[in-house]
Amino acid sequence: MKHTICFIDDKIPVAQSEYFDDTSVINESVLQYLLKNKSIEWEDLSVKRMCQTLMDKRDEWSISAFTAPSFFENHVHSTIGVPDVIIYDWDYNYAIGANDSIDILKRILNNTFALVFIFSANDNTDEIKSSLKDKDIARYKSRLGIVVKNNQKSVNALLKKIEKKYTENFSLSFGQEIISKSNMAISRVLAEISSFSVEEFVLSISEPRDNSYVSTNQDFLNVVLPRYKNQLCNNFPLAELPIKTNEEPKVENLKKIWSFRLYDTISSNCVSRGDIIRKNKHDYYLVVSSDCHMNKFWKKNGGYLSLIPLKQIRKKQSKELLKMMGIKDVTFHSLTSSSISATILPALPVSSSKLQDFIIIPKSIISVHFPLPSGSKAEKEPLTYDKIEPYTKIATISEPFKSPLMQFIIENISGYGCPDFPKKLKEYFKELTK
């Protein structure tokens, strides 16, 4: 599969031709015309050299260009997919302000997995490095680089950097193929349900309410996502991917990956089991009330929501906690495998840039009462976040973690127990099973 590269620079002289629109995408054919046509004057020969070098590698790269970041952003909003690599000019000679350019750069980094190389003159390098220290940009430093204009070696050096990144970066190695397979999978799912009318589909997944039928995004996704997942699994490009390395990943990177696995951060107004909610600034809770009670919360639960407080845990705090519980040490193998009646909830995304670890002690469960809203009917009122202020949703624990965790919690709250074997019999069984 070809990789895609996009060049954003206002020195591309597309406006000199009456045939092309300088506000839309400049494809390979247009670039070829601009490079071959002797009547076209390139104000910046560094830009011309970069475009020519890229065009000479069309067997490896699919190439496009824009004359401004805003034109690129408009194009991306109207199409599916983004380039793997973006060469981003730092300076513009028209009305767009430098701050606008930086804001768009932030959005590109937030919303794409592209490598971004800043293309600018020598005298701007210090300014660029200073701007890239902005916290909203610095977090993506592994995907950022600077390419100096007026240096004939810089283009080839850039391509070598890109090749190296492709061997290291997961999204660059597999991103385009995953996007392609994902589009194919959702198209097949939509093809399967294309025989249904809108009315048939909505009525089949909705509940009647006030003489009408109301469905939510979650209702729709509950139908579509399992079939989408099955389609994608059958054609996924990562099956049995061999990895040979002697280096273990850094703990911080492991936490980020597990945060992706463990939590769904999609916003929703409906309160659900497995939601992690926050009150005030530092008080976190796990919702354990059953989902089947949420649609008629006051009728079925009497207004009581069951929560387990979450305690942020650090090294010193964990020692104090184990000492309080009369335990010297413990190993947590998973969310539900622990030698004590507690578990760790790791890498919770408490903000866009911060992950924190929490401990769950099931026996600390509490019930919080929320009065029925004035003028409401208990048999019809679902529990939503606008009715439980000041609590706000942080994330939801995803499957396949949520159901086993809830079972672990319930068993630790009210599970059965029986007398221990005597010490001598324990020792006998230990020897017997060695």
Residue at 428 is within a domain: no
pLDDT exceeds 50 at position 93: yes
What gap in Å lies between CA 159 and CA 142, rounded to an integer?
16
What is the per-residue pLDDT across 181-208, written as a single tens digit (0 to 9) for each?
888 888 988 898 888 888 888 888 877 6
More confident residue, 317 or 370: 370
230 lies in the same domain as 261:
no
Neighbours of 146 (CB within 10 A): 16
Q: How many CA atoms lie within 13 A of 296 on its CB side?
A: 9
Which of 71-80, 88-97, 109-118 is predicted most confidently? 109-118
- Average pLDDT on 83-99 reads 68
Residue 18 has φ and ψ, to the nearest 5°, of: -80, -5
Provide the residue range defining the domain that includes 218.
175-234
- Whether 237 and 173 have beta carbons less than 8 Å apart is answered as no
* Residue 231: partners with Cβ closer than 8 Å, 6 or more residues away: 184, 185, 186, 188, 189
- Average pLDDT on 149-178 reads 78
What gap in Å lies between CA 108 and CA 131, rounded to an integer?
15
pLDDT exceeds 80 at position 97: no
Displacement of CA 158 from its chain's centroid (Å): 28
**Comparing C-alpha atoms, which of 113, 116, 118, 115 is closest to residue 81?**
113
The beta strand positions in 56-180, using DSSP E, are 61-66, 85-89, 115-120, 144-148
pLDDT at 98: 45
Q: What percent of the chain has pLDDT over 90?
A: 24
Could you give the residue ranges of the DSSP H alpha helices within 139-216?
Answer: 152-168, 170-192, 198-205
33 lies in the same domain as 80:
yes
- Average pLDDT on 363-391 reads 90
pLDDT at 391: 95
260 lies in the same domain as 391:
yes
Could you give the residue ranges of the DSSP H alpha helices within 272-401?
Answer: 297-301, 315-324
Neighbours of 101 (CB within 10 A): 19
Of 115, 140, 168, the residue at which a domain comes to its end is 168
Strand partners, 275: 396
- Average pLDDT on 340-365 reads 88
From the number of C-beta atoms within 10 Å of its C-beta (0-12, 13-18, 19+), residue 345 rates as buried
pLDDT exceeds 90 at position 384: yes
Residue at 241 is within a domain: no
70 lies in the same domain as 164:
yes
184 lies in the same domain as 159:
no
- Average pLDDT on 168-182 reads 82
157 lies in the same domain as 18:
yes
- Average pLDDT on 87-106 reads 68
148 lies in the same domain as 283:
no
What is the per-residue pLDDT across 235-267, written as a single tens digit (0 to 9) for each?
776 655 666 666 777 888 888 889 999 999 888
- Average pLDDT on 411-432 reads 81
pLDDT exceeds 60 at position 94: no
Residue at 38 is within a domain: yes
What gap in Å lies between CA 295 and CA 382, rounded to an integer?
4
Residue at 306 is within a domain: yes
Strand partners, 147: 119
- Average pLDDT on 86-108 reads 70
34 lies in the same domain as 164:
yes
Residue at 244 is within a domain: no
257 lies in the same domain as 353:
yes
More confident residue, 60 or 401: 401
Strand partners, 367: 306
Say how many domains are in the chain. 3
Model's pTM, two decimal places?
0.68
What gap in Å lies between CA 169 and CA 142, rounded to an integer?
9
Residue at 242 is within a domain: no
Question: DSSP 3-state assignment of 205?
Answer: helix
Burial 17-42 (b: 16+ CB within 10 A, else e): eeebebeebbeeebbeebeeeeeeeb
What DSSP string describes 229-257?
A: HHHHHHT-TTTT-----S-PPPHHHHHHH
pLDDT at 275: 97
203 lies in the same domain as 263:
no
Residue at 429 is within a domain: no
**Comparing C-alpha atoms, which of 304, 332, 308, 307 is closest to residue 318?**
332
What gap in Å lies between CA 65 and CA 5, rounded to an integer?
8
35 lies in the same domain as 76:
yes
Of 126, 148, 168, the residue at which a domain comes to its end is 168
pLDDT band at 304 (very low <50, low <70, confident <90, very high): very high
The CATH number given to whatever domain includes residue 344 is: 2.30.30.110
Of 168, 186, 216, the residue at which a domain comes to its end is 168
The CATH number given to whatever domain includes residue 133 is: 3.40.50.2300
What gap in Å lies between CA 72 and CA 413, rounded to an integer?
55
Which of 71-80, 84-93, 186-195 is predicted most confidently? 186-195
Which residue reads 């490896």 in tokens? 60
What is the per-residue pLDDT across 124-139, written as a single tens digit (0 to 9) for each?
778 888 888 888 888 8
Residue at 39 is within a domain: yes
pLDDT exceeds 90 at position 298: yes
* Residue 310: partners with Cβ closer than 8 Å, 6 or more residues away: 276, 284, 285, 286, 345, 348, 358, 359, 360
- Average pLDDT on 162-170 reads 81
8 lies in the same domain as 126:
yes
What gap in Å lies between CA 371 and CA 71, rounded to an integer?
51
* Residue 101: partners with Cβ closer than 8 Å, 6 or more residues away: 69, 90, 92
From the number of C-beta atoms within 10 Å of its C-beta (0-12, 13-18, 19+), residue 47 rates as buried
pLDDT band at 150 (very low <50, low <70, confident <90, very high): low
Q: What does DSSP say about strands 275-279 and 391-397: parallel, antiparallel, or unpaired?
A: antiparallel
